[in-house]
Chain A
Amino acid sequence: MSLYFLCLVLFSVGLYCILRKRNLIKIIIGIAITEYAVNLFFVLVGYKMHGRAPIHAEDQAILNMVDPLPQALVLTAIVIGLAITALIASIAIRVYEKYGTFDITKIRKLKG
């Protein structure tokens, strides 16, 4: 139970980081933390205490296996997260080239 709770804490840390930080890079780190929290939770959903790897062989009974599906899905989710992080980081670099700052309170060309 405490594992799930820690997952929630991690997710909240990420959300706080996105909402409250002014530095673009810190916001990107916040996004990464939220994604990790969701991925971690996904793996935990399929996890079993003292479970074993889900390998099916002739001489083994199917007993006490962890659920392999979330692990496969989380791999995909991590790759997607990497793509997002790479794209946002490159946008942040371009923003820095144009504005000369990472501070979001000074990057305010758009309003209304």
Chain B
Amino acid sequence: MMQNPLPLFIAIPLASAFLNSLLGKRIKGFSDVLSSIATLALAAISIYSVFLIKDVGSIVYKVGGWMPPIGIAMVMDSLTVFMLVTINVVAFLISVYSINYMEKYTEKGIFYSLFLLMIAGMNGVIISGDMFNLYVFLEIAAISSYALVAFGTEQEELEASFKYAVMGSLASSFILLGIVFLYSYTSTLNMADMAMTLLTNGPSRIVLLASVLFLMGFGLKSALVPFHAWLPDAHPSAPAPISAMLSGVLIKSLGVYAMVRIFFSVLGATPEILSILMVIGSLSIVIGACLALGQWDFKRLLAYSSINQIGYVILGISLGTPLGILGGLFHLLNHSVFKSLLFLNSGAVEYSTGTRDLQKMGGLREKMPVTALTSLVGSMSIAGVPPFNGFWSKLIIIVACVQSGHFVHASWAVLASIITLAYFLKVQKHAFFGELKEGLSNVKEAPFFMKFSMIVLAIICLAGGLLMLPAVSGDFLKAARDVVLAGQDYITVVFGAIK
């Protein structure tokens, strides 16, 4: 089993989701312990896989023993491992945080079941080597996230969830339609086999049509600018751990990863698609930043900031140069860390003060020192202040823009980075610094498990810059970049690993 940990990434969360819904209500504290152990195991296996994949290169798991391309394949290469580490480490910390935070809700067992189902769906999207399987896992993750957004069942939550569900299912229809067109053209669903058929058949209008459908579908899932309308409603309405999960990893695994895998590894990234992505990325950067500046709701501001930061990821990857892709992937990792941290901070503030309105806060630094300090670390990282991880990834993306001659995009990126700093200074000034507002004198610091998660994430923010050292990044970040760069060599990787 340890030579091929692939099935575990789906089996563990699915089994524990099932047990949670079965026993969560009967035994007190059962769901807390089980979910934390399950996510810890997933995080440990994903980190173990980094070392495993370093020696082997790639692993293919044949579901049910059927040979691909007939049977379903699950593929693990460096990009997969990179995403798995990002998702599962963040998921573990969020699961620990929920132990305290979810006390105020009823039905904790159901919460954890949906949470683990969402992780199973995301892991499935990442490791799937089969188009239709990817769609199925995408739907598992999406449906559980619709339910989680509505978890509070108040007016706003329900409205946001309805909007999110309509947009999300429309996106899924587009994705399925794209898969249908590709199937009708290539008569196969295995991604590697599909890429091979496309290479031998040469370019076609059907592929172009499918690309456009995928661009719409995954653009909606990852909330790029023309498709972003659902995100600022859905992400703030969910409970804080779920907001962190949605903004931190869901839009990346369902949106960005799936898009990169399909466009680079299967369809082969054409310059036209890349330039469209570049423009969409720049638009997201600028519009997201400007809209975030005007918000007074803490979580809504963070949600708009997600649109802004996902733009950097897309801009970096769509440059198509080695440096650009490296920057994009590095920013993806960093963003999932600091955005989860900031959402957890906002949850801690809401937990203690009962409000999300920045104008009603003030001077919380004295009462909540841990939250204030960790949110300062998160804000500085996201704004790109030097020692933290966000600085390095933004620097790489901007340098890559200049290097490949896209000066306009580079200047947008720099400008938006300054706006990002401005709105996070606003958060710091109104929430944590200044005079303590009236009625906040009884505020207490968040409980232990919440503090634990926030501190660990802040440490990762601080240490994230170390990933730039060649000795550390070689097997992890650079290997993931090489997979994206290699593009349709995915075929040889997959068929080479089948024995």
Contacts and interface: CB of A to CB of B under 8 A. Distances in A.
A61 B300 CA distance: 63
B266 to A, nearest CB: 18
B297 interface: yes
Interface string B175-206: 01100100110000100000000000000000
A108 to B, nearest CB: 8
B132 A84 contact: no
B304 to A, nearest CB: 9
B295 A112 contact: yes
Contact of B132 (A18, A38, A45, A73): A73
B278 to A, nearest CB: 28
B156 A109 contact: yes
B162 A34 contact: no
Contacts of A35: 169, 173
Contacts of A110: 156, 159-160, 233, 237
Contacts of B189: 69
Contacts, number: 84
A84 B297 CA distance: 30
Contacts of B233: 110
Interface string B134-147: 01100100010011
Interface in A13-32: 18, 24, 27, 31
Nearest to B156: A109
B317 interface: no
A55 B2 CA distance: 40
A88 B162 contact: yes
A91 interface: yes
B180 to A, nearest CB: 5
Contacts of B154: 98
Contacts of A88: 146, 162, 165-166, 169
A112 B300 CA distance: 9
Interface of A: 18, 24, 27, 31, 34-35, 38, 41-42, 45, 69-70, 73, 76-77, 80, 83-84, 87-88, 91-92, 94-95, 98-99, 107-110, 112
Interface of B: 132, 135-136, 139, 143, 146-147, 150, 153-156, 158-162, 165-166, 169-170, 172-173, 176-177, 180, 183-184, 189, 232-233, 237, 294-295, 297, 300
**7 nearest A-B residue pairs (beta carbon):** A45-B184, A110-B233, A80-B139, A98-B155, A95-B158, A42-B180, A84-B169
